[in-house]
Amino acid sequence: MVVHVGLKVKSRKGFMKDLVTLVNGGAHSPEPVLVVDEEVARELGYEGGEAVEASIADTTREVYLVRDALELTLKGEGSEELSRIAAHLVIHPKLEEPLITDTTIDELGIQVISFSKGFWRHVNDPPNKVRRSMLKPN
Q: Is 78 inside any structural domain?
A: yes
What domain count does the chain have? 1
pLDDT of residue 26: 83
Please write the tens of the pLDDT for every residue from 98-115: 999 999 999 999 999 999
Count Cβ atoms below 10 Å from residue 85 Cβ, excluding itself.
16
Q: Is 137 inside any structural domain?
A: no
pTM for the predicted model, two decimal places: 0.93
Please write the tens of the pLDDT for every residue from 10-37: 999 999 999 999 999 888 899 999 999 9
Mean pLDDT of 76-88: 94
Q: Is 44 inside any structural domain?
A: yes
CATH label of the domain that carries residue 18: 2.40.70.10
Q: Is 138 inside any structural domain?
A: no
pLDDT of residue 105: 97
Q: Is 95 inside any structural domain?
A: yes
Q: 122: which strand partners?
A: 110
d(CA 27, CA 95): 13
Q: Is 87 inside any structural domain?
A: yes
Please give the residue range of the domain that contains residue 84: 4-132
First to last CA, the chain: 15
